[in-house]
Amino acid sequence: MLGCASVRLGQVAIIVQGLFEKSDSIGYDAVFEYKILKKALGESSVRIFAEKFDQSRYPDVKITSIEDFYSEMDSFDVVVYHFCDGWNAFDQFVAERKFKGRAIVRWHNNTPPWFYAPYDVKLAERCVRGFENIRRLAQVEGVEFWVNSQFTARQLVALGGQHEDITVVYPGSRYATRDVPLRVKKQHGDEFRMLFVGRVVAHKGHLHCIALAEKVSQEIGRPVRLDFVGRKDASAGGFNATLEQRQKSVASGVTVNFSGEVTEEDLNNYYNNADVFVCLSEHEGFGLPVFEAMLCGVPVVACTRTAMTELLSWHPLTIPEMDTNVLAKRVASVLDPKTEASIVETQLEIAKQYTLDLISRQMMAGLQGQAGPLLDVPAPLEGREVAKPTFERDALFDFGENYVTTYDIAALRAALEADGNLSERLQSSYASSPLSYVELSPKDFQTIGGTHTPAGIQFPLTKAGGHAVFGPYVRIPNGDYEATFLFKTSTEASNVSASVDIVADGGKVLVARRIKLNEAAVLMKFSIRAEAEIIEFRVRQEDNLVVPVVFTGLRLARDGQIAQLVAPSYYMDVRPNGGLLYSLGFGKRARHNKAREFFKQADSERDSDNYCEAAKLYRKGLELNPMAKAYWVQLGNMLKDTRRPIAAIEAYDRAASLSAPDADLLLQMSMAYEDMGDLESSASCRRASLEQKGQGQSQ
């Protein structure tokens, strides 16, 4: 604990999930700290363990398998765990304190779920789980934290962490270990060059940077090139598609270039070629690329939010809010050589404090139970104008410091687990029939390297770096199951191997097989013994393809009782050939009788103003009798009255598909569209409702 005067260090274990990716800040930081501690404590006092690693990626570091740690864990006095969103098994291991030594969780902050929610609810759900896990760890007595900034420390306190258990330790960087030569600025004719370095994900502000580049081009009357350096998240398909569409519509005179991951030499060239570094990220735990830019002598223009507040609030070219007009003028100011020289000189005074020595002293202070030194940053500038956002009216951007609170976690979890969430779509039916199945669509799955097509997920022709198919994180009851992976392929794929895994929550592999990708159907049996276990299905391509292979879905069967799939649009698509209720011999009269029971219970809950419970019961009845139009309307009303207008519209649309909508249904749809903010659709439905009423009166 940080209140101790001194602590015996002894043997230290550094734990990280992965040490194999080219651009992995968490992995790099773990190795960075390993080298510092090895030098400070002695070669034999520190070891580093990983679940997955590529020794060739770190040839000067002896990496040991995590399995060895489990067998030797009681020999360590200190365990430093580099938290990685998604390693649930080790999170639980730490929470249960299954080892004797001190537990230090190294946390670099997590991305708030709302940045992913507009593009991919599955990624948003993963973010929620990450914050839930961190909050759980923060509640464990004796667990300490090393965080990467004061902002992250405050975020941890917002989740229930205790100040006395938290130490700020800046992240490692190659720029902290050596003198960085100032850029040799190159001329590019009339072209002005802007640069941002960072992962291509929703919260990093790429869309805002494009809007700013267009404004800068207007401001200075010159062509602008905007370079983005950093890898795309292949699983974030929704955001990537939005970004690609925005790139196609960029204004004349502006060029946008995505370079992906680059070598260190190429990165230095990007810094040397840049006229300005722009950072419009809406959530930064530390902001390492900003330090790199300042150390290279590139003027920085940024919004000071999240960790940028403590680093850049003094900076004359930054502003606290997202305003393209003001930011464009800040960028244009670096065209003046005197202004540029002054900015670079001031930046260096701050950035040069970020050294190996500073980080080492922070780490040793944390190990000794003390608070470590921080950057000596000037006070924020006074009298700065208050910006008024001038982005397009429909642009997505956040406001404020983006702390995720326990209220956020509870609300987001409740929303995700409301009806329609994929992880709650598998339920028990009232039928009993051996091995009837439901089908999971390829749209329910994610991919790394592959491509979503109308036919399914097409595997990459060259071997991808990750799983070509993974997901969809479904929660299923205990029992014995059969999963059939379906592929559209040919005999020419007989020489291409793949690994197929079924994995439980926490990374526990339930069953694994190696297959040839010329198999059209791969059946695997597995058992679930824990109630409501979360399951993931994975396919990893092992070799380069010579012909296309497409994953077309997965059939899931439960022995003795069907696992029933409830569609995400709140209605049941009952297909006679789908192995669902109609094909089970569960007769029409029996279904409708059971449906009436649910509808009666739902009406009672509605009359008692229990709208959420009523919605669940209406939905259960509609699963059994999907032709009951009146109850689709009632379901829509319940969803609308519990402020779920999108879901309400889907229910109303289902009712309208059964017969022409009447005036009352159109009026309800109008109100739901109004709640969504779609005033045009709302007005259209209201006009149609009035027309129908008018026709009725004239008859």
Low-confidence ranges of the chain (pLDDT < 50): 1-7, 383-389, 393, 419-435, 561-588
Strand partners, 563: 428
Residues 438 and 556 in one domain: yes
Residues 257 and 289 in one domain: yes
Last residue of a domain, one of 312, 338, 354: 354
Amino acid at the residue 261: E
Q: Which pLDDT score, from 0 to 100, does residue 622 have? A: 85
| pLDDT, tens digit, 9 for 90 and up, residues 587-618 | 445 567 778 888 999 999 999 888 888 988 99
CATH number for the domain spanning 688: value is: 1.25.40.10
Task: Tell me whether residue 669 is in a domain.
Answer: yes
Amino acid (one-letter) located at 558: R
As beta bridge partners, residue 64 has 49
Residue 5 is assigned to a structural domain of this protein: no
CA distance 545 to 540: 13
Return the pLDDT at 8: 53
The tokens for 374 are 């921080």
Distance CA 200, CA 220 (A): 27
In a domain, 336, yes or no: yes
Encoded tokens for 574: 């009952």
Q: Is 136 helix (H, G, I), strand (E, B) or coil?
A: helix
Could you identify the residue written with the tokens 């299905």? 537
Contact by Cβ (8 Å): 12, 41: yes
- Domain span at 602: 588-698
What pLDDT score was predicted for residue 203?
A: 92
Residue 307 domain-assigned (yes or no):
yes
Q: What is the CATH number of the domain that holds 507?
A: 2.60.120.260
| Structure-token pair, residue 308 | 């940028």
Residues 163, 180, single domain; the answer is no
Q: How many CB atoms lie within 10 A of CB 112?
A: 23
pTM of the model: 0.64
Judgement on whether residues 157 and 181 belong to the same structural domain of the protein: no
pLDDT value of position 532: 58
Q: What pLDDT score does 697 carry?
A: 53
**Cβ pair 210, 327 in contact under 8 A:** no
Structure confidence at residue 542 (pLDDT): 86
Residues 183 and 153 placed together within one structural domain of the fold: no
Q: How many domains does the chain have?
A: 4
* Angle made by CA atoms 154, 159, 161, in degrees to the nearest 5: 70
CA distance 90 to 95: 8
Q: Say yes or no: 326 and 442 in one domain.
A: no
Answer yes or no: do 639 and 674 share one domain: yes
- Taking residue 501's Cβ as centre, other Cβ atoms within 10 Å add up to 17
Q: Is residue 422 part of a domain?
A: no
The per-residue pLDDT for 395 is 59
pLDDT of residue 419: 39
Q: What is the pLDDT of residue 408?
A: 80
Beta strands in 414-492 (DSSP E): 426-428, 437-440, 451-453, 456-458, 469-476, 479-488
* 158-to-161, 163, 168 alpha-carbon distances in Å: 7, 11, 16
Q: Which of 560, 579, 612 is the last residue of a domain?
A: 560
Please tell me whether residues 620 and 642 are part of one structural domain: yes
* pLDDT tens column, 217-254: 999 999 999 999 998 887 777 888 889 999 999 999 99
Least Cα distance to 362 among 590, 663, 153, 542 occurs for: 153
In a domain, 368, yes or no: no
Q: Which amino acid is it at 691?
A: E
**Same domain membership, residue 192 and residue 162:** no
Three-state secondary structure readout of 91-106: HHHHHCCCCCCEEEEE
Q: What is the CATH number of the domain that holds 146?
A: 3.40.50.2000
Q: Tell me, yes or no, whether 428 lies in a domain.
A: no
Q: Based on the domain organization, do 267 and 308 belong to the same domain?
A: yes
Helix (H) or strand (E) segment spanning residue 687: helix 679-698
89 and 218 part of one domain: no
How many C-beta atoms lie closer than 10 Å to residue 455's C-beta?
A: 12
Same domain membership, residue 532 and residue 595? no
Is the residue at 373 inside a domain?
Answer: no
